[in-house]
Each structure stands twice: as structure tokens, then as C-alpha cells.
Chains A and B, each alone.
Chain A
Amino acid sequence: MSLTLAEIKVILNANVITSKFDANIVIERAYSADLMSDVLSFSLTDSLLITGLVDKTVVRTAQVSNIKAIVFARGKVPSKDTVALADEKNIPLMITNYSKYESCGRLYEKGLRNSHDAK
């Protein structure tokens, strides 16, 4: 089961913060972690990343890991620099007020699964 970014935005009641945002992008799988080594090590390409960290390194980790989009949980707002970098690298960013747990649960309920399953 896949979801579009538009659907994910609704499910998570999220705000889009990058100026580049293609609502029709299809997300096939999701990955959740706060340790960037873990994202580098275990996430598969084209995942949605749900994380609690908002610094620039997250965007760079996403770029290296071919992450398609990032959701920041718990309403955490990244710096302008981080948003600018994401725009430059073409990685859409969203903020949700839900916790990471609630975000993962809601997306799972709507049929999204983890990277590992798709392997």
C-alpha cells in the first residue's frame, strides 16, 4: 500500500514547510529513527523518514540515503537554513504535532509499511 504526500499531510495533519512540494509524490514505505547512523544503515531508498531531530544533518542524511520526504514530529521546527537546504536538495519537509509514535501508528493504520517489508 502506498500513500501520496497529499494523503500523508492529511493523515498527520501536517504543515508543509519547504517551498518545493509535489503533493503527488508517491511514498511506498516509511522509516522512523532519530539516529542518523541507523537511517544510513537500514533505511531503503525512497522511504519517508519520520524523525524527532530537525538539524541540517538530517537533510544531508536523507540526501545520502535517498529519502524521499521527511516528517518532523512533535511540532519541532527546523532552522531556516535546514529548510533552505532541503529545498535545494529537493527533499520536501513537513511538521506534525503528533508524536513519532502517533505518526507511525496513523500511517501504518492507513497501510504504509516499513522499508524492510519491501525488501
Chain B
Amino acid sequence: MKISEIVKGLSLEVKSANVNLEKEVTGGYVSDLLSDVIANCKEGNIWITLQTHQNIIAVAALRELSGIILVNGKLPNADTLKKANEEGILLMASSLPAFEIVGRLYNLGIRCR
């Protein structure tokens, strides 16, 4: 499934600029622990978290994730957004909590792979 369909289906707010919304999402991962994401997330996964620290961008770039969804109405701080734009990482936001976002992604057919 393409990112653009997820953005639309879950009414996500796209935060970063100049990003490719046509990327394929290979699966989903939800975690707030960076070491866990580094160890277990797979390439092309969409990552759901409430961490807004700029380190999330480095993790997403390292694991070549398809995007990050910030939950609970969290907004990226200026450093994080700047880094996302520099690295071309797709940063999205939602007011919904993680459980709800994951549930809806799961319903769209996105699995943990």
C-alpha cells in the first residue's frame, strides 16, 4: 500500500516538506524505544511513536523506514522537523493515540513485517 493512501485513510497531517508519498509501506511498527526500533523495524515500515526527539529521524534514515507517525497530537520540535527535511524523512502527525492508529492501519491490511 502506498503512503498516500494511508495519509488519506487515517487523515494524517504531513509535517515534512518535499517527500515522496508514492512509497510503498511494507509493514508497521509501534514503539517509543529507539533501540527497539533499530533492532526490530524493517525497511519500508511505517513507525508509530510519540517520541518527538530529533533522534527519531536518524533512526528512520538508518532503517530506511517509509515514514513516522507521531501520535497523541504530538508535534515535532524545530530540530526534528529540520532534520526530517534534510534527510527526506516523511513525518506525519495525528491527534489519535497509538492504539487507535495501529488498529486502523491493521484494518487497512498493514501488518507487522
Contact = CB atoms under 8 A, between A and B. Distances in A.
B105 to A, nearest CB: 7
Nearest to B51: A35
A108 B108 CA distance: 12
Nearest to A106: B106
Interface stretch (B8-16, B60-68, B83-91, B94-102): B94-102
Interface residues of A, number: 28
B56 interface: no
Nearest to B48: A101
Interface stretch (A12-20, A88-96, A111-119): A111-119
B72 interface: yes
Interface hub of B40, B99, B104 (most chain A Cβ within 10 A): B99
B77 interface: no
A35 B36 CA distance: 13
Interface residues of B, number: 26
Interface string B14-57: 00000000000001111111001000100000001011000000
A32 interface: yes
Interface string A38-72: 10001000000010110000000000000000000
B30 A32 contact: yes
A70 to B, nearest CB: 14
A116 B73 CA distance: 12
Given A38-B50, A102-B111, A104-B98, A52 B103 contact: no
B112 A114 contact: no
